[in-house]
Amino acid sequence: MPSHSGLFTVIERAARKAAPRLRRDFNEVQHLQVSRKGPADFVSMADKRAEQTLVEELRHARPDWAILAEEGGELPGDPNKPRFIVDPLDGTSNFLHGIPHFAISIAVEEPLASGKREVTTALVYQPMTDESFWAEKGKGAWLQDARLRVSARRDLADSLIATGIPFLGHGDFAQWSRIFGAIAPEVAGIRRLGAASLDLAWVAAGRFDGYWEANLQPWDVAAGILLVKEAGGFVTDFRGGDRPIERNEYLAANDALHSKLHKLVGSSIRNM
């Protein structure tokens, strides 16, 4: 059993406090108040209530740390201290359609001497399965107390690849289609499950062999990227570079599949 840091205990406790209400809201989803932030961009009372619980818990435990949360934006804190990055409900569309595939995602980003920041603690918690995917930098990635490794598959023909598909008003459908056209004929299957944090957590767990998506937000991916890296995988932008967040392109897989996927993705977007 790995030893948790005190900080991990803080974020897991916050997630476990928010989860029962999310489960109750999910079971009564037809009564939830839902509004639209933009085209096909829904937010419900469940998102807001979960975020309120998470922010209260995290603030209570670390009062001077900033919190970046999807619904409330940035709550300022001491710039020399770490920052929490929170998606209170990743997979809102699934949730609102009664599909039990969604998660709470929490990352802790620490300031470095260079002025940059890096994610050092990550949790993706799936309330309906009570699965806690977590990682701490240098300590590996875990599902509860079981060590996670990315899949060992080396052939695209055996691989199950996840993606996120652009939708009404969001993302570059032409680019996604070209990448899909390059990857789909080469692999055993493609999945679009609708929660980016879980797509990455499942790559870390070896359930998916790879994943690509673009046009996400920091709270969708901050925790999941650390999970994949700590499980021995790679996360790059579509050209294989090490700035996926800056380019807002995410290609994740084990070593062998990453280089194969990267070639397919690169050739499909080179002339765009």
Cite the annotated binding site for Mg(2+) by residue number: 70, 87, 89-90, 220
Q: Least distance to ligand IPD from the beta carbon of 180, Å?
A: 14
CB 192 within 8 A of CB 171: no
Per CB under 5 A, 87 contacts Ca ion: yes
Using CB under 5 A as the binding criterion, the count of chain residues that bind Ca ion stands at 6
Q: Given the rule CB under 5 A, which of 6-14, 85-93, 124-132, 142-150 is the region that contacts Ca ion?
A: 85-93
**Of residues 88-107, which lie at the interface with Ca ion (CB under 5 A)?**
89-90, 92
CB 155 within 8 A of CB 253: no
Interface with ligand IPD (CB under 6 A): 87, 90-93, 164, 194-196, 216, 220
Q: How far is CA 193 from CA 137, 175, 261, in A?
A: 27, 20, 20
d(CA 33, CA 12): 27
Between 62 and 92, name the residue whose CB sits nearer to ligand IPD.
92
User: In the set 25, 51, 70, 213, which binds Ca ion (CB under 5 A)?
Assistant: 70
Residue type, 10: V
Residues 6+ apart with CB under 8 A from 140: 2, 147, 148, 230, 231
Question: With CB cut-offs between 5 and 8 Å by kind, which of Ca ion, ligand IPD, none does residue 194 bind?
Answer: ligand IPD
- Half-sphere CA count of 238, side-chain side, radius 13 A: 22
User: Which spans of this chain sit near Ca ion (rule: CB under 5 A)?
Assistant: 70, 87, 89-90, 92, 220
